[in-house]
Chain A
Amino acid sequence: MIIENKYIRLPSIGSTTKKLCKSNFSVLLLLLVVANMAACSSVHIDYDGGQALSQHTNILETSLHLGKSGMKDVLQVFGKPNGKGRFMLPTDTTGRKTWSYVYQKGFTDVEITSGINIYGEYTANTLFIYFDSNDKYDGYIWFSVTDRTSTYPK
């Protein structure tokens, strides 16, 4: 995760001047902060490691073998999962261990000009891999989405 941040360094001044100008500096500091925010404030998120989308299904269908491949095989292909959980549909008789892989890339920008405008865009690749009661590869779902957000109208 990369977070852009801007620092404001104040000039060094004497204690008398400090007292005299304390309120003025507060105003200056506030103005600098507002000016800084008006320019642009960004938060960038970039989790790397996603497989090329076109390869996802191919890898899941050929590099791994349903009902045969084990957790070690999945680790070799996709690496360590971002998360682990369980999955059980109403049609299932038992729950299944689930590994999740989530790769995200995007940004959020805040602009303060005549008003506040927040917008962003990100692409997320999500992959869930299911295991049966013998810890064998049992199924999957993956999907990719590109989302654009904007300021919610007040």
Chain B
Amino acid sequence: MNKLSQLKQDRSTVQDVRKMLGEPSGYGKMRLKPDSELLDVWCYQYGKFKGSDVYENTVLIFIDNDDIYQGHLAFIANALVEDLTSGN
């Protein structure tokens, strides 16, 4: 996630985002306030199992109408997978 800081608000392009993160695994839209710009959302999610744990990284990239990077939201989730089939 440290490499996200290499993206520059109002300057980096979608090509820069693709070069750094590859093709997104999902898309969306965002309008934060009634008078704010409608932004594209590019979503990257990476999941791994380790034993009974799931590690999941989620990165949301915000792109404006001119295909310019405007910001991101990134977080990591670590979830324990319960064996729901046991105990029957």
A residues with a Cβ closer than 8 A to B are 3-5, 7, 41, 43, 56-57, 60-61, 66-67, 89, 108, 118, 120, 126, 130, 138-152, 154
Known contacts A149-B54, A152-B55; A144 and B26 CB within 8 A of each other: yes
Contact call B28/A66, Cβ cutoff below 8 A = no
Q: Is B41 engaged at the interface, CB distance under 8 Å to the other chain?
A: yes
Q: List 10 A-B contacts (CB under 8 A).
A: A4-B85, A5-B88, A89-B32, A118-B49, A138-B33, A139-B31, A143-B26, A145-B45, A146-B26, A154-B50
Contact call A142/B29, Cβ cutoff below 8 A = yes
B residues with a Cβ closer than 8 A to A are 25-34, 36, 38, 41, 43, 45-51, 54-56, 58, 60, 81, 84-85, 88
A-side contacts of B48, CB under 8 Å: 149-150, 152
Nearest CB in chain B to that of A4: its residue: B85
B-side contacts of A56, CB under 8 Å: 28-29
- Chain B's nearest CB lies how many Å from the CB of A3? 5
Top 3 A-B residue pairs of the complex, sorted by shortest distance between their CB atoms: A143-B28, A145-B26, A66-B34
Per a CB cutoff under 8 Å, which of A41, A43, A140 touches B31? A140
Contact call B27/A144, Cβ cutoff below 8 A = yes
